[in-house]
């Protein structure tokens, strides 16, 4: 679109004509941006609908048709907005990321003491485990798929990094409130919490009522140790 504008200006032989052409090009450009935004908004809308079914059935057992049936859309729309199934899933993952990474930021921002941060973190943790179990098992599913499907790896590694940073923000703040520094690396801390969460999630999904309280106990015990 930038090329069009330049082209019009170069071939125009009057200021008025150039202005008109520029105006038309701008209008066109704006229209294209609007169209793009609309397009992306629809993609996200579709991705959100797809996440419902994906969270229910997992990546392997979910077909485009099933996604469509569980939503207000027809299966053709998905093909219209996504080049193929992988494109759709990747869009879902990216969209999921944005939601996930900021989950604990408010707690970190508002907590004024170690206890406050601990309790705020634990409360969010428990709520996440109980209310968003389906979304999180999908995340673990996709991360495993990334070990097989190279197309997922870039996005997955990026999300992993974001999550690691998220955990690091919590730990840093926790240490800061105690006048200390975290005792481990960001990677080790993330591995620890991610491992604990993953294990608790599986137990929770298996119907183990102790999964949530046990996770909270473990984290409560761990936090002072690592910082």
Q: Kindly list the residues in this chain that would bind DNA in the complex (CB under 7 A).
A: 31, 35, 38-39, 42, 61-66, 73-77, 79-81, 84-85
CA 122 from centre of chain: 21
The residues in 104-133 that bind a copy of itself, with binding defined as CB under 8 A, are none
If one asks whether residue 57 binds a copy of itself (CB under 8 A), the answer comes out as yes
Q: Which residues contact 53 (CB under 8 A, 6 or more apart)?
A: 62, 66, 67, 70, 71
Shortest distance, position 115 Cβ to a copy of itself, whole Å: 21
The residues in 66-105 that bind a copy of itself, with binding defined as CB under 8 A, are none
State the chain's maximal CA–CA distance in angstroms. 79
Q: Which of the choices a copy of itself, DNA, none does residue 30 contact, using the CB cut-off of 5 to 8 A by kind? A: none
Shortest distance, position 50 Cβ to a copy of itself, whole Å: 16
Q: Which of the choices DNA, a copy of itself, none does residue 79 contact, using the CB cut-off of 5 to 8 A by kind? A: DNA
Q: What is the dihedral of CA 20, 22, 25, 27, to 10 degrees?
A: -70
Select 73 or 193, whichever has its Cβ closest to DNA: 73
Angle between helices 133-145 and 186-205 (to 10 degrees): 120
Task: Pick from 146, 171, 212, 216 the residue near a copy of itself by CB under 8 A.
Answer: 146
Q: Which of the choices a copy of itself, DNA, none does residue 108 contact, using the CB cut-off of 5 to 8 A by kind? A: none
Shortest distance, position 141 Cβ to a copy of itself, whole Å: 5
Q: What is the dihedral of CA 137, 138, 140, 143, to 10 degrees?
A: 180
Shortest distance, position 195 Cβ to a copy of itself, whole Å: 3
CA 63 from centre of chain: 21
From CA 183, how far away is CA 171, in angstroms rounded? 9
Select 33 or 151, whichever has its Cβ closest to a copy of itself: 151
Q: Which residues contact 85 (CB under 8 A, 6 or more apart)?
A: 64
From CA 92, how far away is CA 47, in angstroms rounded? 5
If one asks whether residue 167 binds a copy of itself (CB under 8 A), the answer comes out as no
Select 25 or 167, whichever has its Cβ closest to DNA: 25
From CA 111, how far away is CA 85, in angstroms rounded? 42
From CA 142, how far away is CA 111, in angstroms rounded? 33
Three-state DSSP state, 184: coil
Task: Pick from 75, 140, 169, 178 the residue near a copy of itself by CB under 8 A.
Answer: 140
From CA 223, how far away is CA 123, in angstroms rounded? 14
Q: Which residues bind a copy of itself (CB under 8 A)?
A: 57-61, 137, 140-141, 143-150, 153, 156-157, 160, 183-185, 187-188, 190-196, 198-199, 201-203, 205-206, 214, 218, 221-222, 225
């Amino acid at each position: 679109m930038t090329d069009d504008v330049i082209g019009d200006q170069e071939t125009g032989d009057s200021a008025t004509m150039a202005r008109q052409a520029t105006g038309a090009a701008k209008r066109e450009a704006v229209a294209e941006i609007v169209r793009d935004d609309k397009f992306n908004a629809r993609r996200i809308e579709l991705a959100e609908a797809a996440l419902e079914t994906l969270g229910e059935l997992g990546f392997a057992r979910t077909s485009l048709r099933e996604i469509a049936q569980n939503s207000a859309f027809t299966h053709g729309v998905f093909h219209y907005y996504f080049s193929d199934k992988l494109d759709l899933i990747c869009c879902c993952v990216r969209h999921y990321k944005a939601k996930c990474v900021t989950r604990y930021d408010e707690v970190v921002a508002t907590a004024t003491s170690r206890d406050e941060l601990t309790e705020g973190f634990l409360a969010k943790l428990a709520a996440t485990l109980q209310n968003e179990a389906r979304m999180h098992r999908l995340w673990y599913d996709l991360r495993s798929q990334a070990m097989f499907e190279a197309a997922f790896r870039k996005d997955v590694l990026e999300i992993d990094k974001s999550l690691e940073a998220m955990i690091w923000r919590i730990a840093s703040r926790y240490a800061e409130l105690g006048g200390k520094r975290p005792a481990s690396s960001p990677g080790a801390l993330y591995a620890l919490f991610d491992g604990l969460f993953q294990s608790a999630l599986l137990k929770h999904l298996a119907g183990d009522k102790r999964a949530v309280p046990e996770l909270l106990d473990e984290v409560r015990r761990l936090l002072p140790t690592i910082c």
